[in-house]
Amino acid sequence: MRASLITNALVASLIGYGSTIAVLLAAAAALGATPAQTASMVFAVCVAKGITSGILSFHTRVPVVLAWSTPGLALMAASTGISVPEAVGAFCVAASLVMLTGVWGPLGRLVQRIPDGLAAGMLAGVLLPFCLPLTRAVQDLPGLVLPMIAVFAIVRLKSPAMAVLGALATGIVLAFALGGAQMPPLALPLPQITLIKPELRASVLLGLGVPLYLVTMASQNLPGFAVQRAHGYAATVRPGLVGTGFASFISGFAGAPPISMAAITAAICLADDTHPDRSQRWKVGLAYGGIWVTLGLFSPLIIPMIAALPQPLIAALVALGLLGPLMGAAAGAFAVPDQRFAALVTLVTTASSVSFFGIGAAFWGLLAGIGIYAMERWVKKP
């Protein structure tokens, strides 16, 4: 184990955790999770990521870096009228579909037939409502939010991956230093697992479970495998999908959202400076996994600290954390000319947060986009 394996794994882990932990807590709040369920959710997803990253890296001898699905968390946070047990049922169904994709080729090919622009449009529609409150947060708490945005903008010039982490640190320091938040008791109890019996409701499975599977595949797994190929490795498609799907299914009973392949943080861990010998670079997955398990153990200390921050500050952190994914999704939605209008319909419908028959907007957005795209293709046929 070289020191660079550990330092790169540490940087990637802190970026992944710090830049989106606020989104995870917002998703838990939207589902009405109790403090115990929220703590269980964070601990279980951290441990699932850590252990699975280590096992897959050791098994495949390829650096396998995992993440929670940030777009999936945004989808959860946008949900209304869904209980925690119903969400757990959706998590288990999404995880089962990921596993099935890994072992059954036709399902993977069916997902790949969804036009890229429409998948990106659905993702952009999920993310957009969470980025819009940024200016409202500036209006509510200018003394805290404006310095945080300034740090984000400055750090992003040198390191986009570190920008949200810098904003998070700035927001926390200012909030506690200026009296905008009260420091919680600095105790470190052992994390507790709260088992949740899943409930299966058809409208939730269609409105949350299926879109959660699709955005995780389109925005996390496929780019994650592409990062592996870009660094000269054979993509670990089957073990990656089966492993993350199985781990997500098991951890889902503790309230954890699905885990997936990472892209941005994976690029940090797979870089040449991680280890000069590419055949030894897989060991970064062991260091990465150990750090994530450690972050899970410290979650009872971290969660109250973030929960004590003012709500506008949390909203601003969520918005800053999702600006990058929104930029990528919007670019993908309008990249292909003959898919642009259908992608726009998908984006607008999804962003509207409408719900019909108890089924969320992401499902209807994708359905509307596919319908428009099919009509346009039919009219253009010779």
Q: What is the pLDDT of residues 203-231, one digit of tens each?
A: 889 888 988 998 888 778 877 887 888 78
Please give the pLDDT value at position 247. 96
Nearest one of 57, 70, 31, 45 to 198, comparing CA atoms: 31
Would you state the pLDDT for residue 99?
A: 93
The total of structural domains in the chain comes to: 1
pTM: 0.78
Does 356 reside within a domain?
no
Categorize the per-residue pLDDT at 382 as very low, low, confident or very high, splitting at 50, 70 and 90.
low
pLDDT for res 362: 77
**68: three-class secondary structure by DSSP:** strand
Task: State residue 20's pLDDT score.
Answer: 81
Could you tell me which of 33, 127, 36 has the C-alpha nearest to residue 86?
Answer: 33
- CA contacts within 13 A on the Cβ side of 223: 21
Q: Is residue 158 part of a domain?
A: yes
Q: CA angle, corner 210, sides to 238 and 94, nearest 5? A: 45
Of 236, 287, 291, residue with least CA distance to 56 = 236
The pLDDT of residue 21: 85
Give the Cα separation of 40 and 251 in Å (integer): 10
> Would 155 be classed as within a structural domain?
yes
Q: Is residue 13 very low, low, confident or very high in pLDDT (cuts 50, 70, 90)?
A: confident
Q: Is residue 161 part of a domain?
A: yes
Let me know: does 4 contact 275? Beta carbons within 8 Å.
yes
The mean pLDDT of 328-348, rounded to a whole number, is 89
Query: In this predicted model, what pLDDT tens digit does every residue of 149-202 receive, in sequence order?
Result: 999 999 889 878 778 888 888 888 888 888 777 777 766 677 889 999 999 999
At 43 the pLDDT is 94
In a domain, 347, yes or no: no
CB 115 within 8 A of CB 341: no
> Residue 21 and residue 173: Cα distance in Å, rounded?
17
Query: With 90 as the cut, is the pLDDT of residue 123 above it?
Result: no
Please give the structure tokens belonging to residue 146: 């404006």
Cα angle vertex 229, ends 227, 233, to 5°?
115
Give me the helices (H) in the chain, please: 3-30, 35-60, 70-77, 84-103, 105-112, 116-131, 134-140, 142-158, 160-177, 202-204, 210-216, 222-230, 237-252, 264-269, 284-297, 299-307, 311-333, 340-351, 361-380
130 by DSSP, 3-state: which?
Answer: helix
Task: Give the count of beta carbons closer than 10 Å to the beta carbon of residue 382.
Answer: 2
Structural domain contains residue 376: no
Q: Give 234's contacts (C-beta < 8 A, 6+ positions apart).
A: 62, 228
Predicted pLDDT of residue 298? 87
CA neighbor of 364 nearest in space, from 379, 377, 349: 349
Note the pLDDT of residue 50. 95
Percent of the chain with pLDDT over 90: 33
Among the listed residues 113, 26, 99, 97, the one whose alpha carbon sits nearest the alpha carbon of residue 313: 26
Mean pLDDT of 368-376: 91
Is 358 domain-assigned? no
Amino acid occupying residue 180: G
362 vs 251, residue with greater confidence:
251
The pLDDT value recorded for residue 358 is: 67
Q: Residue 86 has what pLDDT?
A: 94
* Cα end-to-end span (Å), the chain: 61
Q: Which residue range is the domain that position 260 belongs to?
A: 3-329
What whole-number distance in Å separates Cα of residue 288 and Cα of residue 341?
41
Tokens of 287: 């260091």
Average pLDDT over the chain, rounded to whole? Answer: 86
Average pLDDT over residues 72-89: 88
Query: Has residue 23 got a pLDDT over 90?
Result: no
Res 1 pLDDT > 70: no
Those residues whose C-beta lies under 8 Å from the C-beta of residue 139, and which sit 6 or more positions away, are: none
What mean pLDDT do residues 99-110 have? 81
Residue 192 within a domain: yes
Lowest mean pLDDT among 62-66, 139-143, 321-325: 321-325
pLDDT at 314 exceeding the cut of 90: no
pLDDT in tens, 242-288: 999 999 999 999 999 999 998 777 877 887 878 888 889 999 999 99
Predicted local distance difference test score (pLDDT) of residue 129? 86
Is the pLDDT reported for residue 98 higher than 90? yes
